[in-house]
């Protein structure tokens, strides 16, 4: 009878030990991956009446995808102004970049939004002017910086601005799944720091494994 009880107690100790071991492994995995985010959806943040949506680094659309040290990384996001007063993007900085450049429109018009991303082919990013969106003789399509697809809070047409922001001199390699802290500073709303992931590719990639990968079998 005593022998049977000892066997039961011994089995219980082994089971508890195994459960603790598994729990430790699980905790280690969570700790290791809690800063790894999927490179599909962009980040979101808010500074006063300004809302930053779908913010991230533009995917390079190649099999490597990572941004190497010393490279430049363009950003893509939408800055919406839900307030009744205009604001302005003063600066952009990152602890993982030497500097950042801003080209195009910096004003975030009240009741409108500022689209940030690389200009499409054949499109130049220019500062907005008081001129009409299209020339009477040109007939060329309007650019995002001068488009007026909707009406603002006062019923007047709103201009959707466009800008390009590029992180210069990446200090450490950035892989898909990792995030980069980027601080956006606005004239009135102040600074807001956002952890930006690399967006998903916008094209289908056909990547072949390297020769060393095939030889190693791993």
Question: Does residue 89 fall inside a structural domain?
Answer: yes
Question: Does residue 55 fall inside a structural domain?
Answer: yes
What is the extent of the structural domain holding 95?
47-121+144-197
Structural domains in the chain (count): 1
Which pLDDT score is estimated for 51?
Answer: 97
Which residues, given as ranges, of the chain have pLDDT below 50? 8-9, 11-39, 121-154, 156-157, 212-218
User: Exposed (0-12), middle (13-18) or buried (19+): which is 170, by Cβ within 10 Å?
Assistant: buried
Which pLDDT score is estimated for 125?
Answer: 45
Distance CA 118, CA 156 (A): 28
Question: Does residue 131 fall inside a structural domain?
Answer: no
Question: Does residue 191 fall inside a structural domain?
Answer: yes
Question: Does residue 127 fall inside a structural domain?
Answer: no
We report the CATH number of the domain holding residue 90 as 2.60.40.1890
What's the residue count for the chain? 218
pLDDT tens digits along 173-203: 999 999 999 999 999 999 999 999 999 888 8
Question: Does residue 62 fall inside a structural domain?
Answer: yes
pLDDT tens digits along 47-58: 999 999 999 999
Question: Does residue 187 fall inside a structural domain?
Answer: yes
Paired residues of 89 in beta bridges: 186
pLDDT tens digits along 99-119: 999 999 999 999 999 999 997
Decide: 161 and 116 in contact? Cβ < 8 Å. Answer: no
Decide: 162 and 133 in contact? Cβ < 8 Å. Answer: no
């Amino acid at each position: 009878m005593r022998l049977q009880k000892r066997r039961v107690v011994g089995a219980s100790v082994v089971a508890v030990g195994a459960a603790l071991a598994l729990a430790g492994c699980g905790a280690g995995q969570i700790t290791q991956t809690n800063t790894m985010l999927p490179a599909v959806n962009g980040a979101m943040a808010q500074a006063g009446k300004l809302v930053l949506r779908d913010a991230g680094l533009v995917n390079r659309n190649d099999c490597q995808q990572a941004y190497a040290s010393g490279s430049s990384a363009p950003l893509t996001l939408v800055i919406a102004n839900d307030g009744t007063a205009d604001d302005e993007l003063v600066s952009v900085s990152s602890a993982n970049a030497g500097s950042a450049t801003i080209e195009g429109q910096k004003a975030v018009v009240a009741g409108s939004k500022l689209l940030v991303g690389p200009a499409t082919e054949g499109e130049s990013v220019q500062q907005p002017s008081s001129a009409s969106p299209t020339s009477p003789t040109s007939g060329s399509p309007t650019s995002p910086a001068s488009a007026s697809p909707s009406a603002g809070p006062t019923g007047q047409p709103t201009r959707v601005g466009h800008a390009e922001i590029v992180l210069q001199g990446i200090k450490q390699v950035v892989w898909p799944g990792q995030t980069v802290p980027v601080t956006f500073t606005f004239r009135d709303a102040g600074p807001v720091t956002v952890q930006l992931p690399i967006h998903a590719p916008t094209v289908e990639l056909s990547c072949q494994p390297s020769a060393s990968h095939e030889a190693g079998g791993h």
